[in-house]
Amino acid sequence: MTTKPETSSSAQEHSHYKLPFNFGLGGVPLGNGFSIISDATAEEVLESAWTSGVRYFDTSPWYGLGLSERRFGHFLHNKERENFVLSTKVGRVLKATHNIPETMWHAPSPFEYEMDYTAAATRRSIEDSLQRLGLNSIDIVYIHDLSPDNKDLGEHWMQYFEQAKKGAIPELTRMRDEGLIKAWGLGVNTIEPILATLEVADPDIFLSATQYSLMYHEDALNRLFPAIKAHGASIVVGAPLNAGFLTGAYRYDYEGKMPDGFKQKRDRMIAIAKAHDIDLRTAALQFSSAPEEVAAVIPGASSRKQAAENVISMQTKIPEDFWAELKEEKLIAAHATVPI
Q: Which residues are catalytic?
A: 63
Q: Are 64 and 109 in contact (CB under 8 A)?
A: yes
Longest CA pairwise span in the chain (Å): 57
At residue 296, the 3 state secondary structure works out as: strand
Count of positions (residues) in the chain? 340
Residues 149, 153, 158, 161: what is their CA dihedral angle, to the nearest 10 degrees? -100
Residue 25 CA to residue 298 CA, distance in Å, equals: 5
Residue 147, phi-psi category: left (phi > 0), alpha (psi -120 to 50), beta (remainder): beta
Q: For residue 278, which amino acid is it?
A: I
Handedness of CA 223, 165, 207, 204 (dihedral sign): positive
